[in-house]
């Protein structure tokens, strides 16, 4: 992923693009579940996340026989629910 960010601004990789190269990336946020140094409260967007993931219906149907909405809720819960019941997404920042 870090290579992808650097490559996105490399005019040698994309010589046919008419726009000038953009070098505005200052940092990359990488998700971290266990001991994140940064976190964002996502309690207000949990239902939107479940609804969004549910839209990947065909993919989820192929993964499991469990109902799609149940799978979507499980993924969002695994990604956001903390032991004390808070909803957050943890991440680590890398500066470049």
3-state secondary structure of 33: coil
Average pLDDT score over residue span 46-63: 96
Query: Residue 65 is encoded by which pair of tokens?
Result: 């026989």
3-state secondary structure of 39: strand
Q: Tell me: the pLDDT tens digits for 1-40?
A: 566 777 777 778 878 888 877 777 778 889 998 889 999 9
Strand partners, 30: 92
Candidates 42, 29, 48, 44; CA nearest to 79 is 42
pLDDT of residue 2: 63
Whether CATH 3.30.70.1890 fits 2-95: no
Candidates 95, 87, 79, 85; CA nearest to 40 is 87
């Amino acid at each position: 992923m870090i290579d992808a960010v650097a490559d996105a601004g490399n005019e040698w990789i994309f010589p046919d693009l008419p726009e000038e190269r953009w070098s505005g990336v200052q940092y990359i946020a990488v998700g971290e579940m266990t001991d994140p140094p940064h976190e964002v409260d996502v309690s207000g967007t949990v239902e939107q996340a479940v609804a969004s993931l549910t839209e990947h219906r065909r993919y989820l149907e192929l993964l499991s026989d469990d109902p799609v909405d149940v799978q979507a809720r499980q993924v969002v819960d695994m990604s956001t629910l903390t032991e004390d019941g808070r909803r957050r997404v943890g991440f680590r920042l890398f500066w470049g």
